Amino acid sequence: MKLSQFNNTIVYDNSIILYNSFTNHFLPVDPLYNDLIESAKINGNIDDLLIYAPVLYIDMIEKGFVISDGIDEIQKVKDLQAKIDQDDDTLYRLIINPTMNCNFKCWYCYESHIKDSKMEEQTISGVMKHIESVVQNMPRIKKFIISWFGGEPLLYFDRVIDPIMSFATNLLTEHNIVLNTSFTTNGYLINAKMINRFHSYNISSFQITLDGNRERHYKVRYVSKSRGSYDEIIDNILALSRSKLPVNLRINFTKNNLEDLEHIVYDILPLEEEYRPYLIISFHKVWQEEDLTLGTRVKDLRLFFKKHGFHTVNGDIPNTLRESCYADRKNHATINYNGEVFKCTARNFSSDAKEGDLKEDGSIVWNEKFHDRMNIKFKNKPCFSCPIMPICNGGCSQAAIESEGEEYCIYNFDEQRKKEVVLEKYFHKINFAAV
C-alpha cells in the first residue's frame, strides 16, 4: 500500500485535517498520528500504521488516502476527464448570444459591445435546426441545456429568445428530453410579461450581478448620470424569487467595495422566508483585482449573509475535473449572434478567435482551434505532481491554450495558495454544507 499523491494537509482551528483531492474526503487527524503519517511518507512504511492506529489506517484506505501500490492515479484522473468531457452523450449544452450590445458599460467587462448587433432570421433558423440536429444525432441524449448570454440577452427577448425557446420546448418535450434554461443577465430589463413566459422554460438559474451596495453599484451600472439601476435590479431579483424562479445573485468585489457589502442584505431582507431558497448569493473577485488577501473578508461576509437567512456559495472554489467548464466538453457550442461559433465565453467574441461556423442546415463546421482545444489537457508537466490536480486540473482549456506551450500553474506555483484553496473547501463544508 502507498499514500495517495493527492493527499493534502491543512491546519484549521488548531486541528490537523487531511484532504484527498481525488476522493474529495476530509479526515481530522490527531497530531501524533499525523507525525506517523509524515514519517511513513518519508520512509515508505505506511503499513506500519496498521499496528499503531488500525482504525485510522482502515479509514484512510476507505477514503482514498492510502491506495494499492499498482494504482496509477494520474491515469484515473485522465479516465475520469474523458468520461465527463469526451464520452458523455447524454447531455448537450448550447449557449446563445442574441446580441453583443448591452444597456450598461461596466468598466471590467471584457466584451466589445457592438451597438447594432442582433441575431437575424437566418441565424435564428440555423439555431433551431442545430437543436433539431443534436436530437437526431445523439440518440442517448437525456438533457439539453440552453443558456442565454451576450451582450445583454434580454434586449432581444421577443425577437430571439422566445421563438427559439418555444421551438426547443416543443421539440424536446416530444422526444422526452429534459430542457434546462439559464440566463446571464444584468436583470434590469426583466418585467412581468417575461416572468410569465419564463415559467414555460424550466429555468435552472438567472445569474444577476451587483457591483457593491447601492452607492457603489450606481458608479458602475447606470442608465444615465442621474439614474442608477440598483433598485430596479433588486426589485426584479425579488420578483423572480417570489415567482419561484432560481436566482444566483453574483456580487462582484474588489478591495474597494468590500467594506460595506453588508448593506445589500438589508435590501433583500423583504424577501419572505418561503422564497429565500430560490435566492443564492455568491461572491466573485473581479478578474482585474490582483489582491489575493481578501479571502478572510469574504468569509465574514458569507457568514453575515447566512446569519440573516440567505444561502451563499463560494464561486471561486475549483472543481475543474468533475465540474469542468462547458468549453472543455465535446458536446457544447456557443453560437454568436452572427453565426460564428465559439467554446469559451470568457473572452472577446472576435472573428479571428472563432472555432467554427453555424451552417444553414444547423450543422457546425469546426476549425483547427476547436480540435486544438479538445486535445490541450494533460500536457502541462507540473500538474502531474500537484496534490490538488483533481480539483484544479490545470484550470480550464482556455488557461492551457493561453500558456502557449510553456509550463504554468494557475496559482503561480504558490504551495501556500493551494493550501488556502483546500482550506476554503473545508471552511465551506463545515459552515455551509447543511444550508
> Which pLDDT tens digit goes with each residue over 53-63?
888 889 999 99
Mean pLDDT of the 96-117 span: 73
Higher-scoring residue by pLDDT: 300, 389: 389
Arithmetic mean of pLDDT over the chain: 89
Strands of 97-232, DSSP E: 143-148, 178-185, 203-210, 222-224, 227-228
**CA angle at residue 258 from 254 to 260, to 5 degrees?**
145
Best-predicted range by mean pLDDT (46-55, 311-320, 363-372, 392-401) = 363-372
Q: Are 257 and 212 in contact (CB under 8 A)?
A: yes
Q: What is the pLDDT of residues 208-226, one digit of tens each?
A: 998 877 887 777 775 656 5
* DSSP of 96-123: E-S-S--S---TT--S---TT----HHH
For residue 229, name the pLDDT band (cuts at 50, 70, 90).
confident
More confident residue, 109 or 101: 101
Residue with the three cell numbers 425557446: 165
Please state, in angstroms and rounded to a whole number, the distance separating the CA atoms of residues 53 and 66.
13
Please count the helices (runs of H) and the strands (runs of E) in the chain: 15, 18
CA distance 175 to 172: 5
Euclidean distance between CA atoms 58 and 34, whole angstroms: 15
Question: Which amino acid does the sequence have at 24?
Answer: N
Domains along the sequence of the chain with CATH: 1-71 (no CATH), 87-368 (3.20.20.70)
Strands 7-12 and 15-20: antiparallel
pTM of the model: 0.88
**Taking a C-beta distance cutoff of 8 angstroms, is the pair 377, 81 a contact?**
yes
pLDDT tens digits along 249-291 = 998 887 777 778 889 999 999 999 999 999 999 988 775 555 5
User: Measured between alpha carbons, how far is 218 from 338 in angstroms, rounded to an integer?
Assistant: 32
Do residues 278 and 397 make contact, with C-beta atoms less than 8 angstroms apart?
no
For residues 147 and 153, give the distance between their C-alpha atoms in angstroms, rounded to a whole number: 10
Residue 76 is predicted with a pLDDT of 96
pLDDT tens track for 361-377: 999 999 999 999 999 98
pLDDT of residue 435: 45
Q: What pLDDT was estimated at residue 313? A: 82
Q: How far apart are CA 240 and CA 191, in angstroms?
A: 10
Judged by average pLDDT, the poorest of 110-114, 179-183, 313-317 is 110-114
